[in-house]
Amino acid sequence: MAQTYPPIHYAEYLKVDDLLSLQKPKSEEYGKSAHDEMLFIVIHQVYELWFRQILFEIDSAIELFSGDRVDERDMLKASSLFQRIIEIQKILIDQVDVLETMTPMDFLEFRDFLYPASGFQSTQFRLIENKLGLVQRLTYNNQDYKTSLPQNKQHEVSATEESPSLFQLLEKWLERTPFLASEAFDFWKAYREKVEDRIATSRQHVMESELNEEVKTVHLKNLEQMDRSFHSIFNKSEYEKLQQEGYWRLSHGALCAALFIHLYRDEPILQLPFQLMTQLATIDENFTQWRHRHAIMVHRMLGAKIGTGGSSGHKYLKATSDKHKVFQDFFNMATFFIPKSDLPELPKEISDKLRFRY
Ligand code: HEM
């Protein structure tokens, strides 16, 4: 007989009473009840709960990608974790609409009670950033972001700066991609030859065309620019220079693999890896969208006032939406995509493997 468990009530299981005892508007405490403070508290708490779930999924993903090799059977699991994060992010972005039913004047009714509290002090938000792999941060007041966190959380957040982030684990995973270089096929060499050939042919076509000189010059300039861009990834020392300048973050090996996976994504074995990278780019984009929405909402609420946490308010937040990115390389990489019809043909030995033909 199947094991039986003690019955449990909905309210007990979900600790509903505890949950509903956690909304304590300051305006009521001070005898100056402000209607919208309840919404303000609930919405922040809901965000923190979703942050908790996102962290839970990121931790599982980090576990899957830790170690010397990733079990191929875990690829689908990783993809569904990422998809779940994406779906939650959509809610996080949409939720700003609910908050915006509060007008700036409604907010003023209780804002003075909140100093110096700020979302800037959200420990879970920083954990998400660090575990995903954010490293370059804007600062304000020249202070380390961690000094704003509760004392007893600073250590936990520091630890995530040191432990491998999802970005780093993904980079290692990409570096281990097979099929890139063998006796039968050297992807990087074949791709480089194709690209150089394409640029040379296009140049020739422009020169021999009947276009007027002005248009020709524009086309040739574009081709020269393209040539320079490709040169910056074909030449390792140039690539390293761009890495130092912060344009690229992935190692050269990981970038080659990422490009290979994108270019040959129709090959059955590469479909899930392609999907994973696409999902990570979407997660990055969704956080940028949230930052942007939050910044616009803050502008609308505060105008040019500084934040309760002391920043320049919406200006600081807009700048973070431009700068605080993790998987930016997956976006920059698109410069180097070439049409499918131009891809170097895979030798049968490799394509058989990529197509599970045994
Ligand atoms: C009326 C609503 C809100 C206003 C006026 C507001 C204002 C601000 C301001 C001005 C900052 C910059 C730091 C500072 O000077 O305080 C900030 C940061 C932040 N806020 Fe909000 N916020 C609001 C709602 C929310 C909500 C609902 C969340 C959800 C958790 C949130 C999360 C954050 C986070 C995570 C940061 C840090 C962003 C970063 O440093 O990249 N905020 N907020």
Model pLDDT for residues 68-88, shown as the tens digit of each residue: 999 989 999 999 999 999 999
Our CA angle for 137, 143, 148, nearest 5°, is: 90
Write down the pLDDT at residue 44.
Answer: 98
Tokens of 262: 């994108």
Collapsed DSSP state (helix, strand, coil) of residue 305: coil
Model pLDDT for residues 162-209, shown as the tens digit of each residue: 999 999 999 999 999 999 999 889 999 999 999 999 999 999 999 999
Which residues have a Cβ under 8 Å from the Cβ of 300 and sit 6 or more positions away?
A: 100, 104
Write down the pLDDT at residue 208.
Answer: 94
CA-closest candidate to residue 264, choices 183, 194, 327, 215:
194
Task: Examine the pLDDT at 357 and tell me if it is beyond 90.
Answer: no
Write down the pLDDT at residue 129.
Answer: 98
Write down the pLDDT at residue 300.
Answer: 95
42 CA to middle of ligand 1, Å?
15
Model pLDDT for residues 9-51, shown as the tens digit of each residue: 999 999 999 999 999 999 999 999 999 999 999 999 999 999 9
CB atoms within 10 A of CB 92: 19
Write down the pLDDT at residue 228.
Answer: 95
Distance CA 249, CA 247 (A): 7
Distance CA 172, CA 143 (A): 32
Q: Is 31 left (phi over 0), alpha (psi -120 to 50) or beta?
A: left
pLDDT higher for 309 or 286? 286
201 contacts 168 by C-beta, under 8 angstroms: no
pLDDT higher for 312 or 274? 274
Provide the pLDDT confidence category of residue 230 given band limits of 50, 70 and 90. Answer: very high
Write down the pLDDT at residue 311.
Answer: 80
Choose which residue among 123, 294, 315, 320 to substitute to test ligand 1 binding: the one with the highest number of ligand atoms within 8 A of its C-beta.
294
CA-closest candidate to residue 128, choices 286, 310, 349:
286
Write down the pLDDT at residue 171.
Answer: 98
Distance CA 136, CA 323 (A): 8
Write down the pLDDT at residue 344.
Answer: 95
Is 327 close to ligand 1, i.e. is its CB under 6 Å away?
A: no
Burial call 29-57: b when 16+ CB within 10 Å, e when fewer: eeeeebebbebbbeeeeebeebbeebbeb
* DSSP state letter for 133: T
CA-107 nearest atom, ligand 1? 1
Write down the pLDDT at residue 235.
Answer: 94
Q: Give 51-54's long-range contacts (Cβ < 8 A, gap of 24+).
A: 51/122, 51/124, 51/125, 51/127, 51/128, 52/124, 53/84, 53/88, 54/85, 54/88, 54/89, 54/128
Provide the pLDDT confidence category of residue 297 given band limits of 50, 70 and 90. Answer: very high
Provide the pLDDT confidence category of residue 305 given band limits of 50, 70 and 90. Answer: confident
Is 124 close to ligand 1, i.e. is its CB under 6 Å away?
A: no
Task: Examine the pLDDT at 337 and tell me if it is beyond 80.
Answer: yes
Model pLDDT for residues 98-129, shown as the tens digit of each residue: 999 999 999 999 999 999 999 999 999 999 99
Provide the pLDDT confidence category of residue 306 given band limits of 50, 70 and 90. Answer: confident
Distance CA 99, CA 55 (A): 23
295 CA to middle of ligand 1, Å?
8
Write down the pLDDT at residue 142.
Answer: 82
Is 99 close to ligand 1, i.e. is its CB under 6 Å away?
A: yes
Write down the pLDDT at residue 204.
Answer: 96
Q: CATH says 16-354 is which class?
A: mainly alpha
Choose which residue among 317, 323, 326 to substitute to test ligand 1 binding: the one with the highest number of ligand atoms within 8 A of its C-beta.
317
Is 107 close to ligand 1, i.e. is its CB under 6 Å away?
A: yes
**For residue 86, how many C-alpha atoms fall within 13 Å in the half-sphere facing its CB?**
17
288 CA to middle of ligand 1, Å?
14
List the domain boundaries for the chain: 16-354
180 contacts 270 by C-beta, under 8 angstroms: no
Mean pLDDT of the chain: 95
What's the burial of 71, exposed, middle or buried (CB within 10 Å: 0-12/13-18/19+)?
exposed
132 contacts 166 by C-beta, under 8 angstroms: yes
87 CA to middle of ligand 1, Å?
21
Tokens of 219: 């086309």
Distance CA 335, CA 227 (A): 11
Rounded to whole angstroms, the maximal C-alpha distance in the chain is 87
CA-145 nearest atom, ligand 1? 40
Write down the pLDDT at residue 2.
Answer: 84
Which residues have a Cβ under 8 Å from the Cβ of 139 and sit 6 or more positions away?
A: 145
62 CA to middle of ligand 1, Å?
27
Tokens of 19: 């949950």
